[in-house]
Every structure is written in C-alpha cells, then in structure tokens.
C-alpha cells in the first residue's frame, strides 16, 4: 500500500488503466456506404429463402390435397401481393446467387499440377453449373 | 470462449444450403412464383407434378434441400441480426429463434413431403 501511495505521490505520474476500445456503432451503420448496404441486402436474402421454402411447402401441401387444391394454389399465387413478394424474393435470391458464385474463387482454391486454377475459371464453372441445374429443373417440371 | 464443436457443422450446412439455393431456387421461384401463376407458361398438370415430386428419390432430395436451405437462411439471418442490428447482447434468444425455426421448418417439410401421394 505504501508503495502505491509513494508512486501516486510522484509528480506527473498516472497509473496506467487501460480501457477497452469499444466504438459506439449506430444501428444504421450499413446505410453509410454502398458496399455495406450491399452486404446487408445480400444477408437479407436469407429471409426470402425462408419464404421460398414456405411457398414451396404450400405447393406440396396443395398437391397432396388434389388437383382442385393445386388450381386454388395457382390462383392464390397469382394475387398481386404474392406476385410482388415472389418477384422481390426472386431479385434477392438472384443477387445471393451472383454474389455467391463470384465469391467462390476466394472460398475454393483449386490446384491442378501445383498451379492454382484461375478464379475466373472457377466462377465460370459455377455459372455453368447454374445453367445446367436451371435447364434440368425446367425440363423436369415443364417438359419431362 | 467455450468450445462449440457444432459451429463448423453449421458453417458446412450454411455453405451447402447457399450453393443449392443459388443453383436451384431462382428457376423454381421463377416457374412457380411467376411463370405459372401469371400464365407466361402453361402450368404442368397435377398428375405430372405429383409424379415428379412424389418420386421417392425426389422426396429425399427435396427434404435434404429444405433442411439445407432453412439452416442456411437461419445461419445467415442470425449474423444479420448480430451485425446489422447490433444485437450481440441477445445472442441466446437469436440462436434459439433462428435454429429453432429451421428445425421446426425441417420437420414440417418432412411431413409435407411424406404425405405427397405416391404414384
């Protein structure tokens, strides 16, 4: 104790008391820059993926109940509110898809013969897979 | 921080769900959400859709896809709430709501797909 008293008595001496550096973040921090707004918009695609699963399960439920319920589902899906919701969801999910595929080269480092496969090739492969998957699903549902 | 061995698994499911959401949801949502209801394309017959979606392999794949999509969405939404709205202090509640919702959704998806009539 006496040691401490001596030290504080020294002129110009202040005991070092570190404080945590905690900058105050505003709730709306992501509105300040386009890149952070784009980040939040991309993250919000999660809500619309959730909505899509609900919408899809409603379709499955209607199919289970029969041809008439399926007709009713389609006319309900044609109501303006649902169409707008689905159009907005589609926009968000396409945004998710594009950002996801563009990030793929960073997340996936592929080496062939000791050389890194260029990122454009990996992203291109992802887009090619997108085209193939889209064609396959459309063929199964529309044609088939 | 305590070790949470489940965290890597959540990130794997997040990635899987993200890939399959990107690959498959745009076409499905375009067809069922816009093209068929608005009459841009003739909607497939009830019998055809039941045959396609009710195939045992299709049911299993769709069930796994629903799980991956729901957990992808839950995981991403969890971090959206943390970072976007600065809600780190509500951690437990957010984790419960996000993954709880995904678990409930997965069970509902399983029941719905199970009940599709077999053809």
What is the interface size between A and B, counted as CB pairs within 8 Å?
155
Long-range contacts from B105-110, C-beta under 8 angstroms, 24+ separation: B105/A50, B105/A53, B105/A54, B105/B66, B105/B70, B106/B66, B106/B67, B106/B70, B106/B71, B108/A57, B109/A53, B109/A57, B109/B62, B109/B63, B109/B66, B109/B67, B109/B70, B110/B63
pLDDT, residue B2, reads 57
pLDDT tier, A1 (very low <50, low <70, confident <90, very high otherwise) = very low
A49, A90, A96: residue with CB nearest B30? A90
A46, A83, A133: residue with CB nearest B23? A133
pLDDT, residue A110, reads 81
**pLDDT tens-digit map of A73-116:** 999 999 999 999 999 999 999 999 999 999 888 887 788 888 88
Q: Tell me the chain B residues in contact with residue A83 when contact means C-beta distances shorter than 8 Å.
A: 33-34, 37-38
**pLDDT tens-digit map of B53-89:** 999 999 999 999 999 999 999 999 999 888 878 787 8
B33, B69, B112: residue with CB nearest A49? B69
Interchain contact, B27 vs A137, CB within 8 Å: yes
In Å, how far is A124's CA from the nearest CA of chain B? 13
Interchain contact, B26 vs A94, CB within 8 Å: yes
**pLDDT tens-digit map of A47-83:** 999 999 999 999 999 999 999 999 999 999 999 999 9
In Å, how far is B93's CA from the nearest CA of chain A? 18
In Å, how far is B106's CA from the nearest CA of chain A? 10
pLDDT tier, A8 (very low <50, low <70, confident <90, very high otherwise) = low
Q: What percent of chain B has pLDDT over 70?
A: 96
Interchain contact, A43 vs B80, CB within 8 Å: yes
pLDDT, residue B88, reads 78
């Amino acid at each position: 104790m006496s040691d401490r008293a001596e030290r504080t008595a020294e002129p110009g001496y202040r005991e070092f008391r570190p404080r945590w550096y905690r900058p105050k973040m505003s709730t709306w921090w992501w509105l300040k820059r386009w890149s952070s707004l784009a980040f939040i918009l991309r993250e919000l695609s999660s809500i619309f993926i959730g909505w899509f699963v609900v919408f899809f399960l409603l379709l499955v439920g209607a199919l289970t109940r029969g041809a008439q319920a399926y007709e009713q589902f389609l006319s309900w899906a044609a109501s303006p509110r649902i169409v707008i919701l689905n159009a907005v969801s589609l926009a968000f999910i396409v945004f998710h898809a594009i950002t996801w595929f563009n990030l793929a080269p960073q997340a996936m480092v592929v080496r062939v013969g000791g050389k890194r496969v260029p990122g454009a090739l990996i992203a291109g492969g992802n887009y090619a897979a997108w085209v193939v998957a889209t064609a396959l699903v459309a063929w199964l549902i529309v044609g088939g | 921080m305590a070790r949470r061995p489940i965290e890597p698994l959540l990130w794997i499911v997040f990635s899987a769900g993200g890939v399959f959401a990107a690959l498959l949801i745009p076409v499905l949502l375009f067809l069922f959400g816009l093209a068929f209801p608005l009459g841009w394309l003739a909607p497939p017959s009830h019998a055809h859709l039941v045959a396609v979606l009710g195939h045992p392999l299709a049911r299993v794949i769709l069930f796994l896809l629903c799980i991956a999509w729901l957990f992808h969405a839950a995981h991403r939404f969890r971090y959206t709430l943390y970072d976007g709205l600065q809600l780190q202090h509500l951690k437990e509640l957010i984790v419960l709501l996000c993954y709880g919702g995904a678990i409930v959704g997965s069970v509902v998806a399983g029941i719905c797909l199970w009940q599709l009539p077999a053809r």
